[in-house]
Structure 1
Amino acid sequence: MKDTERTPVGTALSALILDLFSLNNRLLAAGDRLVAKLGLTSARWQVLGTIAAAARPQPVAWLARDMGANRQNVQRIVNDLEMEGLVAFEPNPHHRRAQLVVLTSKGKQTFEAAMRLQAPWINELSEGLRVKDIETTRSVLSALRGKLQGPGDAEE
């Protein structure tokens, strides 16, 4: 077999990845529509969610790592969120230059409002799907993510 020929599983995975690209674009567009009235985009919502989900305040680099995103892109979004009064920076006792990012009360309220919009939307979107199928899909995606992680990336 030539190196340029895909195996059957490689062909199936390639088709899945193309579907994931399309799904990601549709999810981002749907998310943008869902939270537009809150002054958010999907990207801003995702950053707020990552901050909210963190066990403790983190610097931008750690947020980006947790999101699997580019640090510079996350920094730009965090700066925008700070200008909107949704996040604030706090001193980091472990690193003078890498400030910690925290939600402000306005940020918490905005994130909670987004999640109130998300609940009925996700419930409707999930109609007709089976929990077992979703769990299997998550398992496959987790395995792929693990294979794509670089040596410096943290385990999830």
Structure 2
Amino acid sequence: MVSLTDRGLEFSQLLVEMSRVNGLLLSAGEALARPAGLTNARWQVLGVVDHGPATVAQVARTMGLTRQAVRQTAGSLAADGMLAHQDNPRDQRARLLVLTARGRAALRSVERRQAAWANQVASRASLTDLRTATGILRDLGDLLEG
């Protein structure tokens, strides 16, 4: 059996903390999205499409999800009048998802709540510490991708 080095043990403890924080962030996101009739997943899809019309495959790549998961979420958003489908001049088989006025209003509502929440949470940490944490997580992501 392979024993953990000090670095390996610390990295393992970091992963446990990241999992705990991820769960807390998901819960906070659900609470922020709920008043607008959204979930985290629906909020994220709207957020991607807010940058411009996109296919299900493009949204899935951006979010790191499967096309099936995005297709299902996009379908429920379309049924609720928050997304619409538009012909894609580049590929007639892959229609574009576009925000409707209702979807844009729901997204802006969540964004306002998220900004107030983020400002409140971030006020309890120094800007230097937040930048350091962001850099470390970015570097860790790069290590795992490479």
Normalised by the size of structure 1, how large is the TM-score?
A: 0.84
Could you tell me how far apart the structure 2 residues matched to 1:87 and 1:74 are?
12
1:86-105 Cα offsets, whole Å, 9 max, x none, are 01111112222221111111
Query: Residues 1-150 of structure 1: matches in 2 within 5 Å?
Result: 4-52=2-50, 54=51, 56-149=52-145
Shift of 1:129: 0.8
Offset from partner CA, 1:71-123 (integer Å, 9 cap, x none): 22122111111111101111112222221111111111110011111121111
Greater than 2 Å deviation, 4+ residue runs? 4-10, 143-150
Structure 2: which amino acid aligns with 1:145? Answer: G
1:29-82: per-residue Cα shift (whole Å, max 9, x none)?
112122212111112111111222x3x321111111111222221221111111
Give distance in 2, aligned partners of 1:6 and 1:23: 23
Percent of residue pairs bearing the same amino acid type: 36
For 1:102 and 1:7, the matched residues in 2 are separated by: 50
> Within 1, Cα distance between the matches of 2:25 and 2:3?
32
CA distance in 2, matches of 1:5, 1:148: 21
Q: Whose helix proportion is higher, 1 or 2?
A: 2
Q: Give the unaligned 5+ runs of structure 1.
A: 151-156
AA partner of residue 14 (structure 1): S
Q: 1:70 to 1:144 in 2, by over 3 A?
A: farther
